[in-house]
Amino acid sequence: MSAPPALPLDVVGIQKLLPHRYPFLLIDRVVELEPHKRVLAYKSVTINEPFFQGHFPGHPVMPGVLVIEALAQAGGVLWQMSHDGTADGRVFYLVKIDKAKFSKMVVPGDRLELEVKLKRTIRNMALYEGVARVDGAQAACAEIFCAEARD
pLDDT band at 78 (very low <50, low <70, confident <90, very high): very high
**What is the model's pTM?**
0.94
CATH (domain of 79): 3.10.129.10
Residue 144 in any domain: the answer is: yes
pLDDT at 94 over 70: yes
**Does residue 140 form part of some domain?**
yes
Sign of CA dihedral 42, 46, 49, 51: positive
115 in a domain, yes or no? yes
Residue 36 known to be catalytic: no
pLDDT score recorded for residue 90: 76
**127 inside domain:** no
Q: Are 78 and 86 in contact (CB under 8 A)?
A: no
Catalytic annotation, pick one of 20, 36, 55, 83: 55
Domain count, the chain: 1
Range of the domain at 23: 11-121+133-148
What DSSP element (H or E) covers 126? strand 125-134
So what's the pLDDT on residue 150?
76
Domain-embedded: residue 4: no
Per-residue pLDDT, 2: 58
Q: What is the pLDDT of residues 118-138, one digit of tens each?
A: 999 998 899 999 999 999 999
Kindly report the backbone phi and psi dihedral angles of residue 146, in degrees, each rounded to the nearest multiple of 5, phi listed first. -125, 150
